[in-house]
């Protein structure tokens, strides 16, 4: 179910996902201006002070658009910034918190206290069930082929098992949606919102490097490799940028520490993307891309409605 705060406000049923070293104030603000939900990871700023500056900037820039936006926090005991970043999220009343790695009732209560929403990334049913126990407002089903930290489940199978558990909560589907037809397919399959990431890497407002944008243009789904040997969590990376054995050995010494894993200097050359890269052929503005997604979405809906189907036969009594 779509939250009331989003009803009638979206041009498309979608959220532009928070992407590490890609999503910043420009992409968030232009997404909101275009009529969809923009978001960014708190760790795209090196410090909590920097995070606060972005919260101030984004709040001011989206004030006239009337669109909710979101920030992502890793809710994990190794996140040394969690308390400070959560306090800032509450201070600036960020409309949507996207939690990853973990979630607690204390976090959801803090966001709900000012009327915000909490959507949680989940790659399996167990993680989703724990998040629902923490009273999140929605589950982001991160299916196979999604960029960044992702799962391996087929999206149809994942939605089929998740939906009965959610009741009136929001179901958001992530994974390989690079056009409006895919967004329509997600909604037709039972999702309330689509979670679109990799397609927005290649936008004018994206913070992605020119190198990453070129690689996205030159890649297809065979170039996307799923592995847990880069940061300890199953993720999708561009094959051309995967590190060698020395990096993996260094990771093993560190162990899983979210503050170390999300250190930007580790990711200058290691680039993540989803399997939808093969459908990306240009670098439009965010506004132009959303226009295109909207047009293709409505064409897909019209195509479904136009399929001639036989009427149901009514048996004589």
Q: What is the DSSP string of 36-62?
A: SBEEEEGGGSSSHHHHHHHHHHHHHHH
7-209+282-306: CATH number: 3.20.20.70
Q: Identify the pLDDT of residue 257.
A: 65
Mean pLDDT of all residues in 219-226: 94
Nearest Cα to Cα of residue 182 among 16, 30, 105, 296: 296
Mean pLDDT of all residues in 18-42: 97
pLDDT beyond 90 at 137 = yes
Lowest mean pLDDT among 42-56, 138-152, 210-224, 238-252: 238-252
Q: Identify the pLDDT of residue 96.
A: 98
**Alpha-carbon distance 121 to 134, whole Å?**
13
Mean pLDDT of all residues in 148-168: 95
Q: How confident is the model at residue 15 (pLDDT cuts 50, 70, 90)?
A: very high
Mean pLDDT of all residues in 140-161: 95
Length of the chain: 317
Domain boundary assignment for the chain: 7-209+282-306
Average per-residue pLDDT for the chain: 92
pTM of the model: 0.92
Q: Which residue has the tokens 């049913």?
A: 125
Lowest mean pLDDT among 49-58, 147-156, 198-207, 280-289: 147-156
Q: Identify the pLDDT of residue 66.
A: 87
Of 254 and 177, which is predicted with more confidence? 177
Mean pLDDT of all residues in 280-296: 98
Q: Identify the pLDDT of residue 317.
A: 61
Q: Identify the pLDDT of residue 71.
A: 98
Q: How confident is the model at residue 206 (pLDDT cuts 50, 70, 90)?
A: very high
Cα angle at 171 between 165 and 172, to 5 degrees?
Answer: 145
Q: Identify the pLDDT of residue 149.
A: 87
Helix axes 25-33 and 286-306, enclosed angle (nearest 10)? 50
Buried b (16+ CB within 10 A) or exposed e, 21-45: bbbbbbbbbbbbbbbbbbbbbbbbb
Q: Identify the pLDDT of residue 267.
A: 65
Q: Identify the pLDDT of residue 52.
A: 98
Cα angle at 258 between 252 and 259, to 5 degrees?
Answer: 105
Nearest Cα to Cα of residue 151 among 190, 176, 131, 124: 124
Q: Identify the pLDDT of residue 243.
A: 79
**Alpha-carbon distance 171 to 253, whole Å?**
37
Q: Identify the pLDDT of residue 314.
A: 76
Cβ–Cβ < 8 Å for 259, 183: no
Q: Identify the pLDDT of residue 232.
A: 79
Q: Is the dihedral of CA 76, 21, 286, 301 positive or negative?
A: negative
Buried b (16+ CB within 10 A) or exposed e, 81-109: bbebbbebbbebebbbbbbbbbbbeebbe
Q: How confident is the model at residue 27 (pLDDT cuts 50, 70, 90)?
A: very high
Q: How confident is the model at residue 31 (pLDDT cuts 50, 70, 90)?
A: very high
Q: What is the DSSP string of 192-250?
A: SEEEE-GGGTTSTT----HHHHHHHHH--GGGEEEESTTTSS-EEEEGGG---HHHHHH
Give the Cβ contact number of residue 145 at 10 Å: 22
Q: Identify the pLDDT of residue 208.
A: 96
Q: How confident is the model at residue 247 (pLDDT cuts 50, 70, 90)?
A: low
Q: Is the dihedral of CA 83, 84, 85, 86 positive or negative?
A: positive
């Amino acid at each position: 179910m779509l939250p009331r705060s989003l009803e009638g406000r979206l041009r498309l049923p979608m959220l532009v996902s928070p992407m590490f070293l890609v999503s910043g104030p420009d992409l968030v603000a232009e997404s909101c201006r275009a009529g969809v939900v923009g978001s960014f990871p708190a760790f795209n700023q090196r410090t909590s002070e920097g995070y606060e500056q972005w919260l101030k900037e984004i709040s001011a820039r989206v004030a006239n658009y009337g669109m909710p936006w979101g920030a992502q926090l890793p809710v994990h005991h190794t996140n040394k910034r969690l308390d400070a970043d959560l306090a800032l999220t509450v201070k600036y009343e960020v409309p949507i918190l996207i939690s990853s790695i973990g979630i607690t009732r204390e976090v959801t209560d803090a966001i709900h206290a000012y009327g915000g929403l909490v959507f949680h990334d989940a790659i399996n049913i167990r993680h989703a069930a724990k998040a629902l126990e923490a009273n999140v407002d929605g589950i982001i089903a991160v299916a196979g082929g999604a960029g960044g930290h992702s799962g391996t489940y087929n999206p149809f199978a994942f939605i089929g098992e998740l939906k009965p558990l959610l009741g009136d909560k929001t179901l958001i589907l992530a994974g390989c949606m690079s056009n409006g037809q895919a967004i329509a397919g997600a909604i037709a399959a039972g999702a309330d919102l689509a979670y679109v990431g990799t397609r927005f890497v290649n936008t004018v407002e994206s913070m992605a490097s020119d190198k990453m944008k070129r690689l996205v243009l030159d890649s297809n789904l065979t170039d996307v490799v799923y592995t847990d040997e880069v940061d300890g969590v199953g993720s999708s990376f561009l094959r051309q940028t995967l590190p060698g054995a020395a990096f993996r050995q260094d990771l093993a010494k560190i162990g899983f520490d979210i503050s170390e894993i999300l250190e930007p200097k580790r990711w200058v050359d290691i680039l993540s993307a989803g399997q939808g890269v093969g459908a990306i052929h240009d670098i439009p503005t965010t506004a132009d891309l959303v226009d295109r997604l909207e047009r293709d979405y409505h064409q897909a809906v019209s195509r479904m409605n136009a399929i001639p189907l036989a009427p149901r036969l009514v048996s004589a009594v």
